[in-house]
Amino acid sequence: MTNNRDSKLIELSCKEVLMKIVQESETIKEKLSFFQKTLLFDKIREMKYEDVISLLFNDGKKITTEQKREFESKTKRNAKYGVAGWAGRKIGMRAIGGRPITLAGKTILKGAGKSGRISSIVDGKRKIGKLGTKGGIRGALTAVAGLYLYRKLSDPCVRNNLTNKKAQIACKMEAIKKVISQIKSDMGKCSGTANPENCKKKLANELVKWQNKYQEHLVTFNKIERKKAE
């Protein structure tokens, strides 16, 4: 059973993954101004939870209440017990298989069948990039589970230290260490999945992202330490 707080954490994680996809789109960088990108991110933040799930994991088709519950249950289960099963699937939940992602009247990402590549389109300009795979946006499922675990671990600690920036960063770093530990553990389970090579590749990509995030927080933490010592 997923409570309201868990649902909200999963919703925020899904939106963050979608914004990351938009942020990393080369065509978006070329065609949209900073102001336009800001409006696009605002649009994602305002989207209904169900609409975000449908874009990421159901080919843009409307999801049922039962599908939403099933997705939340899987997200919680994989955050707790590992995401190797998701990362090693040859074909996961449907995601951007044929329908494009359209936000604020602009087509951001368009699926491209069996090739494992998707088109990025803005204002009619088309480019091909390795942003997705058949049956799902590459890494989206594992990314959402990782972000959910991170938020579930860090948010309560951060709220308890609202006036202490150093303590807040320490909370986030500790949560990241646990996410990294989970990912490393999952990588050892890839041999038992349907596609071990794909599993390891996806998890390795996630591992690098979280390691980089930890280093960013560590730099900020050390700056605060040095400033206090002056």
Selection from 113, 179, 125 nearest residue 152 by Cα: 179
**Dist CA 230 CA 227 (whole Å):** 5
Side chain identity, residue 128 = I
Selection from 196, 206, 190 nearest residue 150 by Cα: 206
Span 118-167, pLDDT tens digits = 333 333 333 323 333 333 455 677 888 889 999 999 999 999 999 999 99
Span 95-108, pLDDT tens digits = 333 445 555 455 54
Question: How many residues make up the chain in this entry?
Answer: 230
CB atoms within 10 A of CB 223: 12
DSSP-derived pairing of the beta strands 125-129 and 132-133: unpaired
Helix axes 140-159, 65-81, angle to 10 degrees: 70
Span 74-92, pLDDT tens digits = 888 777 766 555 454 433 3
pLDDT score for 113? 36
Map out the domains of the chain as residue ranges: 4-137, 140-229
